[in-house]
Amino acid sequence: MPIPRLSRTAAVLLLFLLLLPGALARAQETYFVTYSHQMEEPGNLEIATKSVTGSPRGGNPFFAPTLEFEYGVKAWWTSELYLDGQTTANESSVFTGFRLENRFRPLLREHAINPVLYVEFEDINSADKSLLEVVGHDGRQDFLGRNDRSERKREMELKLILSSNLRGWNLSENFIAEKNLAAEPWEFGYALGVSRPLGLKASAKACTLCRENFFAGVELYGGLGDRYTFGLHNTSHYIAPVLRFDVPNGPGFKVSPGFGLNDYSHGALVRFAVSYEIDQVAQRLRRH
Amino acid sequence: MNRLNGAVSSRTASAVRDLLLLLVLVGYALSLFAAVGDGAWLKSVPQKDRARPNPLASDRDAAAAGAKLFGQHCAQCHGEDANGSAKRPSLRSEHVKNATPGELQWLLTNGSLRNGMPSWSRLPEPQRWQIVSYLKTLQ
């Protein structure tokens, strides 16, 4: 029974870490699908739940939560583990697999455009609905069948992340290539994001609802077909405004309604996330 | 018997080799942390950045806002009092005291990724200047 044991271990770990006094720092990434060149601070662990919910036309409503552990190995290297699950109305609730990703900043200085190399291994099944990225011909029709875990997908995903920070704005572009290791063709996708804090200067007073703690942005993402049918034909695309709020020295919250841009897409998706960042986690564990 | 002895000594040699490698890596890591504190990054700052004045130098609230930002982003490594810790450098050092505002802004923007200092370019530039204002009050 590896899955319940894993869940129990994760729950105990989460509880233990949350009990550490004064351990919370700020959460970071504004986007849900797009990555910027922001890396986790070395030694910090971010624990987040990212969820997406939708009601595909002709299918059952679903809710797909993801538990994410992000650790700053080095200032230029961030590693993440995702545990995925989903529940579909009138069907079932299932654990759908895990993802292990690593991001590397090859250039150690800040430039006008900052590249990050992203490598991910996924071991998920065909019931996965987390929609952490959209590639190939992913679309609404994938969610119309009943929950089916029969197909196991071991996939390698590569991303080229390009990101710039200018005058308070972040502009990020991701180019995605994903390969099911079971002899299926490479699939491609993209994600673009732009965001900005609502206040560029911090207030001198301690405050929770100050403008600098709010961030607004918008994401555009979708599939670009596969190696044999590259392009926009039979691909889904979404536009999604994002709003993020960070409690100073506390958790971060973000929400994003997403809208399908063609008939191949889901009509609407709603994403939300809660994240906690625990600073210098290894030192804290040693101290206890 | 000789073969058994050979296998044991080969395993011992392998363990010694691994231990030496570990020591070298630990030494390298420690030297990197030392490099952050010794102000080596100062040599990397381009002249035009070095000479940049703090546009918030006359803003009376800038240091207070910087102190707040320091508590949110920097204190986790450098300590609430900016005195550093065993592995993280003090910001009350001579290097930081003598650094120009432009040099400190450059360090916050670029970080020193090889040495464990992250880039804070995700903070808007005015907030980085507010942190610089606060760092200058530590002297």
Tens of pLDDT, residues A19-61: 444 455 565 789 999 999 999 999 999 999 999 999 998 899 9
- pLDDT recorded at residue A104: 98
Chain-chain contact of B112 with A75 (C-beta, under 8 angstroms): yes
- Find the mean pLDDT for residues A161-179: 97
State the pLDDT at residue A61.
Answer: 95
**Spatial separation of the C-alpha atoms in residues B76 and A258, rounded to whole Å:** 35
The pLDDT of residue B1:
53
Are B73 and A44 inside 8 Å of each other by CB? Answer: no
Buried b / exposed e along A63-83 (16+ C-beta atoms within 10 A): bbbbbbbbbbebbbbbbbebb
- A181, pLDDT greater than 70: yes
Domain assignment present for residue B1? The answer is: no
Tally A–B CB contacts below 8 A: 83
Nearest to A200 among B61, B72, B124 (CB): B124
Smallest CA–CA distance, residue B113 to chain A, in Å, is 5
Note whether A220 and A238 are within 8 A (CB): yes
Choice among A25-29, A98-102, A142-146, A260-264 with the minimum mean pLDDT: A25-29
Can you give the pLDDT at residue A1? Answer: 35
Residue A81: strand pairing partners: A69, A100
CB A197 within 8 A of CB A211: yes
Is residue B40 included in any domain, yes or no? yes
pLDDT at residue B3, rounded to an integer: 60
Question: Which positions ≥6 away from A167 have C-beta within 8 Å?
Answer: B124, B125
CA distance A43 to A250: 17
**pLDDT for residue A11:** 53
pLDDT value of residue A24: 56
Burial of B89 (0-12, 13-18, 19+ CB in 10 A): buried
- pLDDT for res B78: 93
pLDDT of residue B34: 45
Question: Which helix H or strand E contains A77, and what residues bound it?
Answer: strand A77-88
DSSP assignments along chain B, one per residue: -HHHHHHHHHHHHHHHHHHHHHHHHHHHHHHHHHHHHTTGGGGGS-HHHHT---TTTT-TTHHHHHHHHHHHHTHHHH-TTS---SSS--TTSHHHHHS-HHHHHHHHHH-BGGGTB---TTS-HHHHHHHHHHHHHT-
Summary mean pLDDT of chain B: 83
pLDDT category of residue A5 using cuts at 50, 70 and 90: very low
Cross-chain Cβ contact B127/A201 below 8 Å: yes
Average pLDDT over residues B42-51: 90
Q: What count of other Cβ atoms lies within 10 Å of the Cβ of residue A50?
A: 22
CB contact under 8 A, B119 and A75: yes
- What residue numbers bound the domain in which A16 lies? 2-287
Q: Across residues B1-11, what is the average pLDDT?
A: 61
Yes or no, beta carbons of B118 and A41 under 8 Å apart = yes
pLDDT score at A288: 66
Residue B11: HSE in the Cβ half-sphere, 13 Å Cα cutoff: 6
CA atoms of A271 and A258, how far apart (whole Å)? 8
Number of domains forming the structure of chain B: 1
What CA–CA distance (Å, rounded) separates A152 from A128?
Answer: 10
Q: Which CATH number characterizes residue A229's domain?
A: 2.40.160.40
Q: Is the residue at B82 inside a domain?
A: yes
With an 8 Å Cβ cutoff, is B68 touching chain A? yes
Which chain A residues contact residue B74 at CB under 8 A?
A: none
Query: Look-up: residue for tokens 């910027």?
Result: A36
Please report whether residue B90 resides in a domain. Answer: yes
Residue A6 pLDDT level (bands cut at 50, 70, 90): very low
Report pLDDT for A147.
86
| Poorest-pLDDT segment among A80-94, A100-114, A255-269, B22-36 | B22-36
Parent domain of B47: 6-137
Positive or negative: CA dihedral B56, A109, A70, A18: negative
Which residues on adjacent β-strands are paired with residue B3? Answer: none
Position B40 pLDDT exceeds 70: yes
Contact B86/A at CB under 8 A: no
CATH of the domain at B15: 1.10.760.10
CB-based contact A68:A48 (threshold 8 Å): yes
Number of domains into which chain A is organized? 1
Q: Is the pLDDT of residue B8 over 70?
A: no
Q: Does residue B52 belong to any structural domain of this protein?
A: yes
Quote the mean pLDDT of chain A: 90
Tell me: the pLDDT tens digits for B59-68? 999 999 999 9
- Of the pLDDT bands very low, low, confident and very high (cuts 50, 70, 90), residue A159 is very high
Residue with tokens 């804090």, as numbered in its chain: A197
Gyration radius of chain B's alpha carbons: 21
